Amino acid sequence: MAPRQCPIGAATIAFSLAVIISVVSAAAPAPAPAPANKNHTVGGAAGWFYNTSSDAPSANYSDWAASQTFYLGDFLIFNTNTNSSVVQTGNDTTYSLCDASNDDGNQTFLWGSDGGDSNSSNPEVLEIPLIYEGPNYFFSDTMDGEQCQNGMKFEINVLHGNGLPPALKQPPSPSPVPKPLPPTSTGGDGSSNENQTSEKNRVEGIRGGFVLAILGMLSLFLTTV
């Protein structure tokens, strides 16, 4: 007698496929989580400086940028001084021209001083958050763009990672360059002090006249009563 074949039901096939899928899924590695946000010191130990004697920046910033991986929420730390500027832009034309003077877009910012302070070279530390995904460009436009043209620039590609932290979901606010208040002119003959004294006397005279008028009206009212 020939052996009898047992039919395989659809439910059995479905169960077998489910088991196979579960085993494969368990064996597949889970995607690696995006790393925590970090600070990137631009140029490493060399910082963000320009040597006017050699007419060259202190580091190859393009090579430095190529060695890093950037995510939304990371920070760029610029150890620099007031001899150079830091311009951030999302406009590749502005970047290629090394000139932000004609860029009125909302993704171009000047951080810290505007550079060119060769007399004092005051140190600055600028902390710039990366809040735009995709290409970001940075350069110094000091010396009419000469620093940028000589290599003081770099571009990066910012990956999504974990996305922006809530605290960084507002557009950045670059620190404005403080403008000194115009000095008060005192004049060699003390004319400013005389004007202030005259104004004070005028105000006091008005106040005194007002008080006398009130007293006069009150006296008249009491006499009538």
Q: Which domains does the chain have, with CATH numbers?
A: 39-168 (2.60.40.420)
Confidence of residue 190 (pLDDT cuts 50, 70, 90): very low
Q: What is the pLDDT of residue 225?
A: 45
Q: Report the C-alpha gap between 111 and 120 in whole angstroms.
A: 18
Residue 36 predicted with pLDDT over 50: yes
Q: Output 197 or 101, whichever has higher pLDDT.
A: 101
* Higher-scoring residue by pLDDT: 145, 212: 145
How many whole angstroms separate alpha carbon 95 and alpha carbon 53? 25
Q: What is the end-to-end Cα distance of the chain in Å, rounded? A: 142
What pLDDT score was predicted for residue 23?
47
Contact 161/35 with Cβ under 8 angstroms? yes
Q: What is the pTM of this model?
A: 0.64
Residue 59 confidence (pLDDT) above 50: yes
Please compute Rg for the chain using Cα positions. Answer: 35
* Spatial distance between the Cα atoms of 118 and 143, rounded to a whole number of angstroms: 11
Q: Where does the chain show beta strands of DSSP type E?
A: 39-41, 50-51, 56-57, 70-71, 75-81, 86-89, 108-111, 123-129, 134-139, 153-159
Q: Which residues pair with 167 in a beta bridge?
A: none
- Phi, then psi, of 97 in degrees rounded to 5: -85, -10
Could you identify the residue written with the tokens 């006398």? 212
Give the Cα separation of 136 and 79 in Å (integer): 19
Q: How far apart are CA 158 and CA 163, in angstroms?
A: 11
